[in-house]
Homo-oligomer: A and B are copies of this chain.
């Protein structure tokens, strides 16, 4: 390997790297991290509020992870209730929770979006709902089959089992979310999984479908995050934090430099927009290992939006926010104030488009931003300066500036919000 060839020379610009002289020895930074990790693990225990702990003035609907056999028996009782209704002359109808925006709510105490309990009837004997109720019955039957066989399929597979009825995948996908809500279980409990996109590397050992995986021995490529979280278990780690990275390129830099060996951590990325598998995996790590999560995203409105999806959920799946979200993610960088602080040259900053600025302003109105004054300040600065920058902009100081100066200094200074 290249490392062994002793081909490295002293980097001529090494000592001139901005802020490199501010770095303390790694042992000092490690002390900071240990305190942070310890305080985070104790606070997160006391902090795990649930809907039940709050006396909200209305009822909310939440789903839970259920075992396959519970899902199976829930379906069977539902169908029995319907058969009974038909036999007693009350007809065939599903009672379906509403997933519309009007039925959604951000709960600051929980720091996530939840679904209120409005629902509507979906009768078979009505021309406007007959198709949808037939689709609902068919999806229930297919899920029942999955329970019996104990296998996982994708939404696309589900669609193709009855194209004639479903017509297009949007219809079967929507009813699948309805069925999740009706049965009170998460979509992963239904054994319907999303495509996998995320990768993980660093100080984590876990089991995937019975195989033990050591993520310090996954080279530069890392381990693909499994699509089915219910077959993931036995998580062990000596990490002090989880580093959540927005983009592939930054992930690769950190994996190649084995950043997790210098500062014990677990590095995870969904390569852009967070997918359900990566969100579930992050939450499971946070819950089981009680580690703080630090996020490294682009300094633009989408970086913050991605952070918010991990943190408090997407509106589309608000019924499942308790299982999909990871509370208390810290915004490590790249933050709008970093651009001046780290003297990112003008030409590496990009002007925000009209759309960017609008998205930024919209975010300022969101509850999850408002509750964090530091975030409001940063976002206001971004919208005011109309400048954005990618994580990769740090490469202007050298390819390894991210792993050798920027991140260590951020950690040393506890510079997260």
Contact = CB atoms under 8 A, between A and B. Distances in A.
Interface stretch (A2-10, A57-65, A288-296): A2-10
B223 A223 contact: yes
A68 B7 contact: yes
A159 to B, nearest CB: 8
B152 A252 contact: yes
A271 B195 contact: yes
Nearest to A13: B145
Contacts of A82: none
Interface stretch (A42-50, A109-117, A322-330, A394-402): A394-402
Contact of A160 (B1, B11, B271, B395): B395
Nearest to A248: B195
Contacts of A390: 156, 160
A253 interface: yes
A384 interface: no
Given A11-B149, A348-B163, A156 B223 contact: no
Given A157-B253, A213-B219, A150 B399 contact: no
Interface class of chain A by DSSP? mixed
Interface string A216-238: 01111111111110010000000
A161 B395 CA distance: 5
Interface in A21-65: none
A396 B210 CA distance: 29
Contact-residue size bin, chain A (C-beta under 8 Å from the other chain) = 35 or more
Contact of A8 (B148, B154, B162): B148
Nearest to A346: B164
A230 to B, nearest CB: 8
B218 A160 contact: no
Given A2-B68, A157-B392, A249 B219 contact: no
B221 A207 contact: no
A252 B197 CA distance: 12
A220 B212 contact: no
A218 B213 contact: yes
A402 B210 CA distance: 23
21 contacts: A7-B150, A8-B150, A151-B257, A152-B256, A154-B252, A156-B249, A157-B249, A157-B392, A160-B348, A160-B390, A161-B395, A161-B399, A196-B221, A207-B219, A208-B220, A208-B221, A209-B220, A211-B219, A220-B226, A221-B223, A223-B223
